[in-house]
């Protein structure tokens, strides 16, 4: 019998790599990259996931994840939550015992994500050109399991992020990540600003780009 459409997802790639970002940085991780994103951040490095992809049954995705033999799984995109059935995938990955994280743009409601998932939620800065997409209703839903990420393009972005940090007491809710936009913001300069202002946030570089450069599937 055919799998009901309700249990399929549009998928760009599944691959094993080293987690390059977030609290789980450095762990061998299986990445499940779903296809499609309603945003167009000017610095996007995964535009190849906007279109194309193939339909996969969720159970086939689980089998492919298992084949790689890692404990950590990161569901990403694109914007994975743009496909409603992503919620079912996340639940099944948690049921299977993986440490599951979700990378999401912050533009879509995260309320129904399985509570066992660690949600990495972007807050889009002015420099992204998609700031108007931030769904601020997500902020009160964040817990200590989650992380908020600012990709900083310039000093104006940094100042904006600092204001958001204070206004929403973000560091009291969850871990907060500040990351320089590659090729736009000097990492060292950002690190110096964070230290000078004594911000309670975590600086991060994209480790996978240090290791392998800006290539798909890594
Ligand atoms: S939300 Fe992520 S995938 Fe979508 S355009 Fe922005 S950076 Fe790219």
153 is in an annotated binding site: no
Position 23 confidence tier, pLDDT thresholds 50, 70, 90? confident
Is the pLDDT at 1 greater than 60? The verdict is no
For residue 214, say whether it is annotated as part of any ligand binding site: no
Ligand 1 pocket residue status of 182, Cβ below 6 Å? no
Domain enclosing residue 123, as ranges: 5-212
Instruction: Say if residue 3's pLDDT is above 60.
Output: no
pLDDT tens, position by position, 121-150 = 999 999 999 999 999 999 999 999 999 999
**Closest by CA position to 107, among listed 129, 84, 136:** 136
Is 164 within a domain? Answer: yes
In a domain, 92, yes or no: yes
pLDDT at 93: 98
Is 45 one of the annotated binding-site residues? yes
84 is a domain residue: yes
Q: Is 94 labelled as part of a ligand binding site? A: no
Is it the case that residue 169 has pLDDT exceeding 60?
yes
Domain count, the chain: 1
* 131 in contact with ligand 1, CB cutoff 6 A: no
105 C-alpha vs ligand 1 centroid, how far in Å? Answer: 6
Over range 55-77, report the average pLDDT.
Answer: 97
Assign 21 a pLDDT band (cuts: 50, 70, 90). Answer: confident
Q: Does the pLDDT at position 6 exceed 70?
A: no
Q: Is residue 217 part of a domain?
A: no
Question: What 3-state class would DSSP assign to 11?
Answer: strand
Distance 76 CA to ligand 1 centre (A): 10
Domain-located, residue 11: yes
Specify if 218 maps to a domain: no
CB of 103 closer than 6 A to ligand 1?
Answer: no
Please state the atom number of ligand 1 nearest to the C-alpha of residue 43. Answer: 7
Place of tokens 């807050």: 123
* Alpha-carbon distances, residue 30 vs 17, 47, 70, 71, 217 (angstroms): 6, 20, 6, 8, 11
Q: Is the pLDDT of residue 82 over 70?
A: yes
**What does the pLDDT read at residue 105?**
98
- CB neighbour list of residue 21: distance below 8 Å, 6 or more residues apart: 103, 120, 149, 177, 179, 204, 206, 207, 208
- pLDDT computed for residue 218 by the predictor: 72
Looking up residue 18, the CATH number of its domain turns out to be: 3.20.20.70
41 Cα–ligand 1 center, Å: 5
């Amino acid at each position: 019998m055919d799998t009901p459409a309700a249990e399929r997802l549009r998928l760009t790639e599944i691959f094993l790599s080293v987690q390059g970002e977030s609290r789980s940085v450095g762990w061998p991780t299986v990445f499940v990259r779903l296809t499609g994103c309603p945003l167009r951040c000017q610095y996007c490095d995964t535009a190849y996931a906007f279109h194309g992809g193939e339909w996969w049954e969720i159970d086939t995705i689980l089998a492919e994840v298992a084949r790689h033999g890692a404990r950590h799984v990161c569901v990403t995109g694109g914007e994975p939550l743009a496909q409603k059935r992503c919620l079912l995938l996340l639940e099944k990955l948690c049921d299977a015992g993986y440490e599951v994280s979700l990378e999401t743009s912050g533009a879509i409601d995260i309320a129904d994500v399985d509570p066992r998932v660690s949600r990495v939620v972007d807050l889009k800065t002015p420099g992204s050109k998609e700031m108007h997409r931030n769904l601020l209703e997500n902020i009160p839903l964040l817990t200590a399991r989650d992380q908020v990420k600012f990709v900083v393009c310039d000093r104006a972005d940094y100042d904006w992020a600092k204001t958001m940090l204070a206004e929403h007491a973000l560091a009291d809710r969850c871990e907060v990540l500040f990351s320089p936009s590659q090729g736009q913001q000097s990492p060292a300069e950002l690190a110096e600003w964070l230290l000078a202002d004594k911000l309670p946030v975590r600086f991060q570089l994209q480790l996978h780009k240090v290791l392998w450069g800006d290539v798909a599937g890594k």
